[in-house]
Amino acid sequence: MRTTVKISQGLAFSLLWSTAFITLGFLILILVFILKEGVPSINWPFLTTYPESMGRAGGIFPTIVGTAYLTMASLILAVPFGVGAAVYLTEYTREGATTKIIRFATETLAGVPSIIFGLFGFASLVTLSGAITLALMLLPTLIRTSEEAIKAVPSSYREGSLALGATKWVTIVKVVIPAALPGIVTGIVLGIGRAIGETA
**pLDDT exceeds 80 at position 3:** no
In sequence order, what are the residues at sequence separation of 6 or more whose Cβ sits closer than 8 angstroms to the Cβ of residue 63?
51
Q: Which residues pair with 111 in a beta bridge?
A: none
Q: Is the pLDDT of residue 128 over 80?
A: no
Residue 37: left if φ>0, alpha if ψ -120 to 50, beta else—which one? alpha
The tens digit of pLDDT for each residue in 15-52 reads 888 998 999 999 999 999 988 888 887 888 878 888 88
Q: How far is CA 74 from CA 14, 78, 159, in A?
A: 45, 6, 35
| Residue 76 backbone dihedrals phi, psi, to 5 degrees | -60, -35
User: Is the pLDDT assigned to residue 10 strictly greater than 70?
Assistant: yes
| pLDDT at residue 25 in the model | 92
Question: Is residue 126 very low, low, confident or very high in pLDDT (cuts 50, 70, 90)?
Answer: low
- Could you please report the per-residue DSSP string of 134-175? HHHHHHHHHHHHHHHHHHTS-HHHHHHHHHTT--HHHHIIII
Q: pLDDT tens, 130-189?
A: 777 788 888 888 888 888 899 898 889 888 988 888 888 888 888 898 999 888 888 888
pLDDT for 1 equals: 56
Cα separation of 92 and 85, whole Å?
A: 10
pLDDT tens, residue by residue, 55-110: 677 788 888 888 888 888 888 988 898 888 888 888 888 888 888 888 888 888 88
**pLDDT score at 5:** 72
> What is the model's pLDDT at position 29?
94
